[in-house]
Structure 1
């Protein structure tokens, strides 16, 4: 997607691009995070005519993204679930408010600022909260497709 993205959008600065520093070495998380970063870049580069559409797509992805992580935490009894899930809920609520202001009041600047702020927030979130979750998921042998934990004895160790 990023090659297509870069070829079809106007040249502007992108605040965040995918890099090895964002990798958690857990494919199902990294795939979701890479998609988030690409959608964030597409939103950041959007012109005023496509900003609402791109921001909406970013919110839809983020709902699924956070919902997946919240499910993984619940499935594996992850100890930091409450704090992590609360942050997800707050970020989504702010994003929805930004879309509302952009759609109903024509406030494109608020969506652009939120996109920029998300690009600043995400690496910290990924490298702290998501990194801890990824470590936990590997430790308990979690399979995201089936929801099966193959090393439940690891719960006692944590």
Structure 2
């Protein structure tokens, strides 16, 4: 299970976005059958804003791995968009699987690698 103590990187903007990501992920995961589209949309919209904010910081500070990190965000958002299209038809299975397995695994790995390096770089660039 993902927890706030596990995701803190020491860079306030990123830590706040990650905490919000967890809150919205948990809300979507807890949505009852037939009511996932709204909470998933809130989660997806937050990820879009979160990634845009992070990429803006990386561009502003000249982060050396911007393109690699941005490409990973784009890959995730492509999958999110496909899930949203399925939810629009009432199909929830793929979204529920992603919320249960896909997102937690990806988020944990992304935080431990790309985001950890990014947060350290941004903190040192200030």
TM-score grouping bracket, smaller chain normalisation? over 0.9
Runs of 4+ with deviation above 6 angstroms? none
2:74 & 2:62 partners in 1: Cα distance? 19
1:16-95 aligned at under 5 Å gives the runs 16-95=1-80
Q: What count of residue pairs does the alignment treat as equivalent?
A: 125
Given that 2:2 and 2:108 are in contact with CA atoms closer than 8 Å, whether structure 1 keeps it comes out as: no
Which residue of the partner structure matches residue 112 of structure 1?
96
Q: TM-score, normalised by structure 2?
A: 0.94
Alpha-carbon distance in structure 1 between the residues aligned to 2:67 and 2:61: 13
TM superposition shift of 1:18: 2.2
User: Distance between the aligned counterparts of 2:73 and 2:49, measured in 1?
Assistant: 11
Segments of structure 1 that go 5 or more residues without pairing to the other structure are 1-15, 142-158
Larger Rg: 1
Contact kept, 8 Å, 1:39 with 1:57, in 2: the verdict is: yes
* Structure 2 gap ranges (5+): none
- Bigger relative CO (Cα 8 Å, ≥ 6 apart): 2
Between the aligned partners of 1:27 and 1:119, the Cα distance in structure 2 is 21
Q: Distance in 2 between matches of 1:96 and 1:59?
A: 8
1:133 pairs with 113, 118, 124, which one? 118
Compute the displacement of 1:102 (Å): 1.7
Q: Could you say what the CA RMSD is over the residues aligned between the two structures, in angstroms? A: 1.0
Within 2, Cα distance between the matches of 1:18 and 1:75?
29
Name the structure where helix makes up a greater proportion of residues.
Answer: 2
